[in-house]
Structure 1
Amino acid sequence: MSYIAQFCESEIAKGDGTSANDHEHFESMKDAVKNLSNPSELLPLLKHENEWVVCWSASHLLANGQKSKAIKSLKGLVKKGGISAFSAEVVIQEYEQNSFASPFV
């Protein structure tokens, strides 16, 4: 399995963080990100059908110099509403307050 596929699979499984295996899914995501040669490999995931894949990918990209594309994707999630929208909104707020870092550091 590629690191991108591992990242997506783990993001989807983690979802809103209420899974009994939440920690395992997060560690799998973290391992996948560490093994990417460049964070920009996640750019195609900003158009993924799963909102959690978009949210987690945009969060990592935002912390790695892809501001305009990441913010655009996060704002798109906010417009849709729901739990992932709330997560996206928090990421944007933290970024604007200069208190945001990649969740995988």
Structure 2
Amino acid sequence: MTSNLEQKVTSAIHAFCEAAIEKGTFASPAKKDHQLHKIMSTAVNELRTFGSYGLSALKDIMQHESPYVRIWAATEMLTNGDETAKAVLISLAAEEGLLGASAKAVLNEHVKGRLRSPFSVSKT
């Protein structure tokens, strides 16, 4: 029998993956893209509340079959200091098109010390 925590983590990971795949590099119209990003953000913020258990689940999906899931998960994990995320991003940076360009941009921001979570809550 799975625990309540396991169910919550599994649910958050599932929501994150589905939204990342549907979002792709950009979902149209922009309103849909923003909605999908919000779903991913909510999932990540929920996973953060579970501490290392939630972050471990997010780390695990850096190996997901979808490159969209991998790039978002690796970006978040790199902002959390997980250096293993670099290898995932370097691999994705070799891809053609917007996905590869996005991975390169993430790596460049990291090198410059400016990389921030794409899922942080704005403090305005």
Tell me the TM-score normalised to structure 2 length: 0.79
Give the structure 2 partner of residue 53 of structure 1.
Answer: 69
Q: Percent same amino acid among aligned pairs? A: 35
1:25 counterpart (22, 26, 36)? 36
CA shift, 1:102, in A, is 0.6
Contact preservation (8 Å) 1:12, 1:52: yes
Amino acid at match of 2:107: I
- CA drift of 1:24 comes to 0.3
Which protein has the larger Cα radius of gyration, Structure 1 or Structure 2?
A: 2
Q: What is the aligned length? A: 104
Unaligned stretches of 5+ in structure 2?
A: 1-9
Give the whole-Å Cα distance in 2 for the aligned partners of 1:47 and 1:4. Answer: 13
The question of whether the paired residues in 2 share the 8 Å contact of 1:58 and 1:71 is answered with yes
Give the TM-score, by structure 1 length: 0.92
Written as runs of structure 1 = structure 2, the 5 A alignment for 1:1-105 is: 2-20=11-29, 21-36=32-47, 37=50, 38-67=54-83, 69-105=84-120
Task: Give how far 1:18 is off.
Answer: 3.5
Q: Which residues of structure 1 form unaligned runs of 5+?
A: none
Alpha-carbon distance between aligned partners in 2 of 1:91 and 1:79, rounded to the nearest angstrom: 13
